[in-house]
Structure 1
Amino acid sequence: MQTGLTDNDIIQLVRKGDQQAYAQLVSKYQNYIFTIILRYLPSREDAEEVAQDVFVKAYRSLADFRGDSKFSTWLYTIATTTSITFLRKNKLDIQSLDNDKVFAHADNIDGGMRANQVEQKSKIAMVNKAIQLLSPDDAQVITLFYNGEQSLEEIAQVLGQETNTVKVRLHRARQRLKEKMEKYFAQEVKDLAHY
């Protein structure tokens, strides 16, 4: 397996016939995509099925990827539309970000971790719990910016909004996230400040 390649380098390899290179992209983005899908689907099994569909669709459509945005932005769009299509087809309810089970499933993905990984996971879990207390719109922009590592321009493209609108939404969402963390996780935030 080749390392040190950018997403676009890997995509070029796949387009030239190196199908094994695609596994690098799957490995890099599988947790990100799975987390996004869990925000729509309550069942881990359904989320795994949809995640596989997302990567198959992305592979088949790789020739259509123009590189105008990050590969992760393009993949996010496929994951979102595939999740919504799955829900419509199966007539399931879209899960709110306020649903504790959604994050519980995401948090239970990996079982055997060392102590420092557990500590890191608990910090992430705390932030995820605070994010789930936000409105779906706030949670979406926070998730795209931090978990998806999307730029403001890329988020604007995904959401179909102006970049300045996204910048304001992100600023307000950060403020509300800070308020939620201070209100509901005051002791944990205080403990983190001592590290």
Structure 2
Amino acid sequence: MTTQPSDNDLIAQVLRGNQQVFAELVKRYQNFVFTITQRYVDSREDAEEISQDVFVKAYRSLRDFRGDSKFSTWLYTITSTTCITHLRRKKQDVFSLDQENVFARAENLNSGFNANEVEQKSKINMVNSAIALLSPDDAQVITLFYKAEQSLDEIANIMGLETNTVKVRLHRARQRLKEKMEKHFVAELNDLR
């Protein structure tokens, strides 16, 4: 069994001059970046363009990555900043997690016909639809914790909050998500039981 090199190992290789290794980081995080980008823009083409810009910026700034947090946290910050800059240039509205089907569109990028995959995607779409009903702050903390797999400390760093505040917000957001699911997805939840 071979183990995959860690993000920090790959970064060290890139910084030592092996630029081709950066492609592995892109491969690992392209869906992560694209999903975040689609929260901000409606156009798939814009999301693809911004995602490319994010990886170019990340590559150029790789020496600035100190390793204090996960690479994904650092990349999230670059992605968010790049999206906001893009929107300011285009003078468009920012699309929040309240917009319908933002996550559903991202989840359907790799659609398959396997029955288990279809069922799993149906569950994911149900949860994503429920997340879309939450306030932007609740949706962000849920997304960062469950989808981006960030720790409470990392979320606090991203959102500019204290860790205990994030813990409380996450708890309350989970409660509200449960309420939304029980109110809007009764039949789907019964099918799962």
Show the counterpart of 2:180: 180
Show the counterpart of 2:92: 92
1:113 Cα deviation from its structure 2 partner = 4.0
State the distance in 2 between where 1:47 and 1:129 align. 20
**C-alpha RMSD over aligned residues:** 1.4
State the distance in 2 between where 1:180 and 1:141 align. 16
Instruction: Determine helix, strand or coil for the equivalent of 2:109.
Output: coil
Q: Please, what TM-score do these two structures have when normalized by structure 2?
A: 0.95
How many pairs does the alignment contain? 192
State the distance in 2 between where 1:12 and 1:56 align. 17
Q: Is 1:74 matched with 2:74? A: yes
Q: Is the 8 A contact 1:44 1:105 kept in 2?
A: no
State the distance in 2 between where 1:14 and 1:180 align. 45
Unaligned runs of 5+ in 2: none
Matches within 5 A, 1:51-62: 51-62=51-62
State the distance in 1 between where 2:185 and 2:28 align. 31
Q: Please, what TM-score do these two structures have when normalized by structure 1?
A: 0.94
Unaligned runs of 5+ in 1: none
1:101 Cα deviation from its structure 2 partner = 4.6
Q: Is 1:12 matched with 2:27? A: no
State the distance in 1 between where 2:3 and 2:15 align. 17
Matches within 5 A, 1:110-125: 110-125=110-125
Question: Which moved further from structure 2: 106-115 or 176-185?
Answer: 106-115
1:69 Cα deviation from its structure 2 partner = 0.5
The amino acid across from 1:105 in the alignment is R
Runs of 4+, deviation exceeding 4 Å:
none
